[in-house]
Amino acid sequence: MIQTDRLYFADDLYTIRQREDEPLREYAARFSHEYSRCPETDDRAAYGAFKSGLRSSHFRYLVHSSNWRTYDELMKQAAVHAKVEYFNSKPGPSARKEESAAKSYPGQTDEPSAGHKRKDDRDNR
């Protein structure tokens, strides 16, 4: 017997869940691919299945509180938020500069040494 991972019905779409470590972009692509394999499924069912498969996140909150009505609107917003999620996950140029500055002076730290006290840390005399 040959088994496939093909989905056939709208109910099968409800089994697709966003994994905890899966970015929104990957979940949306995986869901869209499986939705394309369900020829008898309408957009309304796909909308509900996509929404129910989202993990707890800011985007899930937006989906539940928004007035997006169609699957196309939902997927457009998912694409926008996936880009934001992607760019927010990458370190920015200022973070890279701070890392390189810290690496260039390995002996220097922001902490005062154990034997040295700052003026503002002195006990009242």
Domain ranges of the chain: 1-92
- Which of 39-48, 75-84, 110-119 has the lowest average pLDDT? 110-119
Per-residue confidence (pLDDT) for residue 116, from 0 to 100: 55
pTM: 0.66
Per-residue pLDDT tens for 91-117?
766 655 555 555 555 555 555 555 555
Q: Using DSSP, state whether 7 is helix, strand or coil.
A: coil
Which CATH number describes the domain made up of 1-92?
A: 1.10.1200
3 pLDDT band, cuts 50/70/90, is very low
Helices (H), 14-105: 24-35, 43-53, 58-65, 71-89, 93-104
Residue 85: HSE in the Cβ half-sphere, 13 Å Cα cutoff: 18
